[in-house]
Amino acid sequence: MPLVHALWSPGRGLLLWAEHDRVAAGPSSRPARLARSHPFAVSSASLTALHPGKPTSVTLLLPSRANRPFAAAELTSGARRRGAAPTLRPWSVPALVVDVAELDDLDDSAGYGTSVTYLRAVAGLAVDLVRRGRVLPTLLRRGDAAEARWRPVLQGVDVVAFDALVEAMPPVGRAEEIAPLTGASPRALVTDALHALVDAAVRDRLARAEPPVDLRGGRGAAGVWLSALAGGDPRVELPLDELGVLADAVAKWDGVADTDVVDGRACFRLAEVGTLRRPAEDDPDDQTGDGTKWQLQFLLRSTADPSLLLSAGQIWSGEANGLVRDPKGLLLAELGRAALVEPVLAPAVRRTRPAEHDLTVEEAEQFLTTGANRLVEAGFEVQLPATWDGRRRLALRLSVSSTPSEQVVTRSRVGRDELAAFRWSLAVGDDEIGEEELARLVAAKTPLVRLRGRWISVDPDRLRAGLEYLRRDPHRRPSAAELLELVQLTRETPLPVTDVRAEGWVGDVLAGRVHQALRPVELPPSFRAALRPYQQRGVAWLAFMSSLGLGACLADDMGLGKTVQTLALEALERAGGEHPPTLVLCPMSLVGMWQREAANFAPGLRVHAHHGSDRLHGTAFAERVAAADLVVTTYATAARDAGELETVTWRRLVLDEAHAIKNADTATAKAVRRFTAAHRLALTGTPVENRLADLWSVLDLLNPGLLGSRFEFRQRFAVPIERRGDTETAAVLRRITGPYLLRRVKTDPVIVPELPEKIEIRQEYRLTREQGTLYRAIVEEMMQKIENSQGIKRRGNVLAAITKLKQVCNHPAHLLHDGSPIGRRSGKVSRLEEVLAEILAAGDRTLCFTQYTEFGHLLVPHLADRLGTEVAFLHGSLAKGARDAIVDRFQSGDGPRILVLSLKAGGSGLTLTAASQVLHLDRWWNPAVENQATDRAFRIGQGRRVQVRKFLCPGTIEERIDTLITKKRALAGMVVGEGDNWLTELSTDVLRGMLTLGEDALDD
């Protein structure tokens, strides 16, 4: 992946250049002072594929060895410490002259250096100065030629921001060779860049202004200058004598821009200066407001004496002379600056002695709602009428009265007419508006109305739509899903909803207190489990959601009893009457668990396992399903038999380990979406495994359309939260999804007493000499492949390198696949033997997780021989019966005390509480996967302290994985993770630093 750099070149503007990952550079016979071609710079053709621009070249002074420049990453790593100190040498580099806007449209196929981020900050300051009107027009003279330019006004905090940018300029940003072996000063570069960017931003703003801003000042030198300020050609062509007069006049404005002390600031007062007609005496509030005349008055407030406020009339009459330095020039300068912020002022600025400006009703409304705020942000003072109330907006108010939550649970299905009594109304602030009053406002067709003595802004079209909304069929009742969309403001309404007053279950949902408000349900005698209090609340919540027909996600931590809560729900409903069967989808390893749990806790439920080559089809399948309460099948079988399964109308669709359908594009996810069920329930301890798309996939299957389309969800939530860490957007997403998710974690105060202590131990070891030699050889071999490959081939090489390094950390035989003996060749295996011997001596049982089945096959006979005990192995190639037998023997206490498990086959769904020791032999990137594996032992039913040991070798890829897992866990508060693909996009130098063997990795 090329690394792109940016710099500002005086006279040319923004330049982009890039370098490939490091390649060898041959010697050169050119003198050191002559610029040589950069040996691994990206060509102009490749640059234009990344960004549109004009090809050029630039000579850069870069830290170099004798025959090549350092790569950018070398300068921050330890590479340069291994050789001679770098010297600055000139290198010729292909570059592109690009528009600054290109910095906001970066290509994912390239990496970007700090210089790109830096110049975006410079451009951001320029745009911010223009937005706030911190600019002035000027005349730039070069001999007999002159140009009209816009220049920044740096005062107060802006001076601080400018100085900070000067100090922060990265070395590569000032690398252009200006004179032999010298570069430009950071202050000169930032000054040149800021002036050019401000000028371009003002011209762009003027060109896009609506209504258009006309700066043409008529004939004469001033007119030529004004036209050049607004047009695309900045040249000012005038006779020298006229040019001199113009330059002297404009220089006074430059004096204002170059000082931190200004004698005054403009003040704008919006006033009601009379009416075009008198309101009727019996209608003193004149709700239409169309008789009022609005005027914007100009004043100047002294900064030396803030109590001194001078009107424009006083300034033009000469009364202000002596009170403020050059009051006339200062007022004109301030009005000119303000006109750039608020275009409605442009006509007044063109007048000779502007004192005020009359506004239409539409212009007054725009000024009140947006223009005044823009002027205040730019540092001006604004005075608005005392009768203006900008905080009071016309909005919808919703009052909802619904059935109490505990009564909803007792019903198997709540009809639409029983859901809620609700009433819409229109209000301004706390004042509710009657329909007759609203009709008069609609008839006025004006954006600014006076209501009960106060001015408010309204959109006539939205006001009319609001009236029509109130007049809809008042007897229509929404479904529960529709009602929640309304009160959560996820459904569009013609006016904003600012007040929701809800009672009953709707209020409990909005306040997030449903599962606390619900009373525990009384389970039938046929259900034999004794539920813990939090599980009783979980069953009540599931019954509540089922009654309302809302899809639910029970997202309790692994081990907190999601299966038993689901079985309790089924037993509760079926005790109250006949229902169609429920379809349970789960991984293959959990089919037997559902059968066993149902037999133990709800023996009255009729369970049919639809799985295996001898499973039923056709009429036999239909008859067996009709006679069952639970039909349990795997996700893979459901995809294959989707045609038969979708012919049944199921009572409930249960998705156990629901992250199995986190990718909505898989054949399984598409098949499951076709199944018909009165209620849908997802069970998962990790509703978000890697990215927010996981959450969308699960919730959209439960309640289609809840979060919009996948594209809408990505734009509205995923991008702001995952890329920018937007906490406000994350809060909105939690509010919307909260009613459909019940999440309890093992650290909850009400659950902690139910679980024993968990201790996590970092189990370090060192590589043997053989492992160290193999490790280094792999790094050198794979880095060569990575350096010489691109795109998908490079990504494959990166993942292959990581896999090989993890294998060599396990054992040389795991890497070589040669069936050679285990012996004492692996530091990890030797340490594992020592740890297991201690655990066996203490009488404990152990789970050993590895992500590699091959490594498990190597370990099992070796450990059995070394430790003199039976070692079992649970992996994906075992048939269901064999898996169940291993689990039963281990849990019974009579079977093997050491159980090796492949992470994929044994990392979820199983209950293995006979173990009090969990060993993670090799680490994967996703902490959620690792936690699921740990939770096979650390779950409800575990009565002993659980020790979790994570094997890693310092200075190797394993330690770097451990660091990254820690960072990913820090994001858990926002339920956002990262996928693994980012790793393959790291630069070659960063990858080398990540994979290289550290000095502390080998056993002395």
Q: Give pLDDT tens digits for 258-277.
A: 554 457 788 999 988 765 44
What is the reported pLDDT for 21?
Answer: 58
pLDDT above 80: residue 918: yes
Asked whether the beta carbons of 179 and 120 are under 8 A apart, the reply is no
What is the reported pLDDT for 706?
Answer: 81
What is the reported pLDDT for 623?
Answer: 93
What is the reported pLDDT for 284?
Answer: 44
What is the reported pLDDT for 28?
Answer: 41
**Which residue has tokens 């029970």?**
554
What is the reported pLDDT for 261?
Answer: 47
In tens, the pLDDT along 354-388 reads 999 999 888 888 888 888 888 888 778 899 888 88
Of 491, 504, 338, nearest in space to 418 by CA? 504
pLDDT above 50: residue 326: yes
Highest mean pLDDT among 19-33, 74-88, 603-617, 919-933: 603-617
Strands (E), 110-153: 111-112, 135-142, 145-152
What is the reported pLDDT for 752?
Answer: 58
Instruction: Give the Cα separation of 764 and 656 in Å (integer).
Output: 36
Asked whether the beta carbons of 802 and 983 are under 8 A apart, the reply is yes
| Mean pLDDT (whole number) for 170-182 | 76
152: which strand partners? 135
What is the reported pLDDT for 492?
Answer: 61
Q: Between these two residues, 922 and 518, which has the higher pLDDT value?
A: 922
Of 60, 14, 3, nearest in space to 189 by CA? 14
What is the reported pLDDT for 32?
Answer: 43
pLDDT above 60: residue 924: yes
Which pLDDT band, with edges at 50, 70 and 90, does 975 fall under? Answer: very low
Amino acid at 3: L
Here the tokens at position 57 are 């070249």
| Mean pLDDT (whole number) for 540-567 | 86
Cβ-count burial of 309 within 10 angstroms (0-12 exposed, 13-18 middle, 19+ buried)? middle
Highest mean pLDDT among 344-353, 382-391, 463-472: 344-353
Asked whether the beta carbons of 601 and 535 are under 8 A apart, the reply is no
What is the reported pLDDT for 583?
Answer: 96
Highest mean pLDDT among 325-329, 543-547, 778-782, 852-856: 852-856
DSSP letter at 121?
Answer: H
Highest mean pLDDT among 80-94, 482-496, 669-683: 669-683
| Mean pLDDT (whole number) for 782-800 | 80
Q: 17-34 in b/e burial notation, b at 16+ Cβ within 10 A?
A: bbbbbbeebeeeeeeeee
What is the reported pLDDT for 976?
Answer: 31
pLDDT above 50: residue 399: yes
DSSP letter at 320?
Answer: T
What is the reported pLDDT for 373?
Answer: 87
pLDDT above 90: residue 633: yes
**Beta strands 676-683 and 649-656: pairing type?**
parallel
Go through the domains of the chain in sequence order and give each one's CATH number.
Answer: 1-112 (no CATH), 133-254 (no CATH), 264-383 (no CATH), 394-511 (no CATH), 532-752 (3.40.50.10810), 758-1001 (3.40.50.300)
pLDDT above 90: residue 681: yes
**What CA–CA distances, in Å, run from 577 to 383, 570, 573, 648?**
70, 11, 7, 19
Which pLDDT band, with edges at 50, 70 and 90, does 742 fall under? Answer: confident
What is the reported pLDDT for 78?
Answer: 45
Q: Which of 275-284, 402-411, 836-845, 872-881 has the lowest mean pLDDT?
A: 275-284
User: 791: Cβ–Cβ under 8 A, 6 or more apart, which residues?
Assistant: none
Q: Between these two residues, 980 and 645, which has the higher pLDDT value?
A: 645
Which pLDDT band, with edges at 50, 70 and 90, does 430 fall under? Answer: low
What is the reported pLDDT for 858?
Answer: 92
What is the reported pLDDT for 625?
Answer: 93
What is the reported pLDDT for 981?
Answer: 44
Q: Which of 431-440, 562-571, 865-874 has the lowest mean pLDDT?
A: 431-440
| Mean pLDDT (whole number) for 972-977 | 37
CA torsion angle for 614, 620, 622, 623 (degrees, to 10)? -120
pLDDT above 50: residue 770: yes
pLDDT above 80: residue 689: no
Concatenating the DSSP letter of every residue in 840-868 gives: HHTT--EEEEES-HHHHHHHHHHHHHHHT
Which pLDDT band, with edges at 50, 70 and 90, does 505 fall under? Answer: low
- Name the average pLDDT for the chain: 79
Of 546, 233, 246, 268, nearest in space to 380 by CA? 268
pLDDT above 60: residue 118: yes
pLDDT above 80: residue 605: yes
Cβ-count burial of 644 within 10 angstroms (0-12 exposed, 13-18 middle, 19+ buried)? middle
Instruction: Give the Cα separation of 735 and 739 in Å (integer).
Output: 8
What is the reported pLDDT for 409?
Answer: 57
Highest mean pLDDT among 53-62, 178-187, 585-594: 53-62
User: 496: Cβ–Cβ under 8 A, 6 or more apart, which residues?
Assistant: 393, 395, 396
- What pTM value is reported for the model? 0.49
H-only helix segments in 342-387: 346-349, 361-366, 372-377
Q: Which of 81-85, 364-368, 792-796 has the lowest mean pLDDT?
A: 81-85
Q: Between these two residues, 303 and 875, which has the higher pLDDT value?
A: 875
Q: Between these two residues, 580 and 957, which has the higher pLDDT value?
A: 580
What is the reported pLDDT for 496?
Answer: 63
